[in-house]
Structure 1
Amino acid sequence: MNSNQTIAQQLAPVKQCAQQSLIVVMSDIPNDLEALASFSMLAKAYCNTHAGAEVLLNIASVVEQGGIWIGESIMQKLLGGAVLEAPQIERAMGKWSKVLTGREFEVAKAIAIGLTNKEIALKMHITERTVKAHVGAVLDKLQLKNRLQLALLVKEG
């Protein structure tokens, strides 16, 4: 793939051509930001290109069974603190959508399917700036750190 493009730019054509495919992203120099970007583009796994055969077989097994292969450092970032506060408990109980406006809920669903702000803006007939405002409001209301956490929450509930 082209190293001058972001991971999202590299995965977009793959996602369009092979919508039902299970995507595993491998990187020579893996990093958390690239991993998060890969998962936001609906990749099912992210790993080092130098992973051993046993690890690759484990990844294949997890992905084939419908799971997601997430490295330990990414998992720690996603989980954040271990103490559940009231808003987190509500999210865990599936009540997260009740705190969002209709538009915020639409934006959250669009993020969960991997749309970019630009794509969401086009789909909803609003400006990208408005989308960014909705994304910020959703993340604040749900006390989430990033789009990946939001996508995982939407897909769970």
Structure 2
Amino acid sequence: MIRLLLADDEAMIRAGIRAILASDPELDVVAEAADGREAVDLAISHHPDVALLDIRMPRLDGLAAAAEIGRAAPEVAVVMLTTFGEDDYIAKALDVGASGFLLKSGDPRELIAGVHAVADGAAYLSPKVARRVITQFAGGRMARGAAARDRIGGLTEREREVLALVGAGLSNAEIARRLHIVEGTVKAYVSAILTRLDVRNRVQAAIVAHEAGLVA
């Protein structure tokens, strides 16, 4: 069972999202918040697997709440859920350590797929957001590619293999099956990779993998 925290300042929106999540018997909303400060407090007290946060909320916006959750409860994976898809929101969400970014206007199946992916240790961007990220990072690719190759220079051959699979969007369980190792070992590799690359989450690591040419 995947335990969820849902935070949105609009009660009707929360009810709609909760109804979508309830269609999957493996998902359980264990706490709801109407503002960002409450979301942080509930993340600390309830320890959900995934926190779904709206970006624009009173008292503390979703981006600030995500940053605080990352510091106070780093085991909680954060997914930003919003009607806004501007590039600056996407960039800020990735900077504060969000593992997913979904648009409320997207297919409900994306929401369920995203929650499962993030809970399984992967990253998830809605297709529209993924296109924006790819476009944004397309410019200046050669310079960033050289920098990224320098960054991965200190990784072992196995760490590069794991990083390439993270870049391809595979979860820890999928990487374990692909490399014929246990999932706990994959988690240890991913943690080491994030530290060596000085990145906050799998999304940022995946970007490095793509820029370094590890992913076709």
The TM-score with structure 1 as length reference comes to 0.51
Q: Which amino acid aligns with 2:92?
A: A
- Partner SS, residue 92 of structure 1: helix
1:3-14 equivalences under 5 Å are 7-14=62-69
Q: Alpha carbons of 1:50 and 1:90: their partners in 2 closer, same or farther (altered >3 Å)?
A: closer
**Is residue 2:137 matched to residue 1:95?**
no
Which residue matches 2:136? 77
Which residue matches 2:116? 61
Q: Alpha carbons of 1:36 and 1:4: their partners in 2 closer, same or farther (altered >3 Å)?
A: farther
Q: Deviations over 1:40-87 (max 9, x none)?
A: 1110111112333211122123323322223211222124366x46x7
Q: Which amino acid aligns with 1:60?
A: V
Distance across 2 between alignment mates of 1:150 and 1:55: 22
Which residue matches 1:36? 91
- The answer to whether the 8 A contact 1:90-1:96 is kept is no
Distance across 2 between alignment mates of 1:38 and 1:69: 12
| Larger relative contact order (Cα-Cα within 8 Å, sequence gap ≥ 6) | 1
- Aligned residues: CA RMSD: 3.8
Distance across 1 between alignment mates of 2:205 and 2:62: 19
Q: Which amino acid aligns with 2:200?
A: I
The structure 1 segments of at least 4 consecutive aligned residues displaced by more than 6 Å after TM superposition are 148-151
Unpaired runs of 5+ in structure 2? Answer: 1-35, 37-56, 156-194
Which residue matches 1:153? 208
1:7-26 equivalences under 5 Å are 7-26=62-81
% of aligned pairs identical?
12
1:100-139 equivalences under 5 Å are 109=198, 112-113=199-200
- Partner SS, residue 114 of structure 2: helix
Distance across 2 between alignment mates of 1:13 and 1:50: 26
Q: Alpha carbons of 1:79 and 1:61: their partners in 2 closer, same or farther (altered >3 Å)?
A: farther
Distance across 2 between alignment mates of 1:96 and 1:90: 13
- The answer to whether the 8 A contact 2:67-2:97 is kept is no
- The answer to whether the 8 A contact 1:40-1:151 is kept is no
Q: Number of aligned residue pairs: give it.
A: 110
The TM-score with structure 2 as length reference comes to 0.39
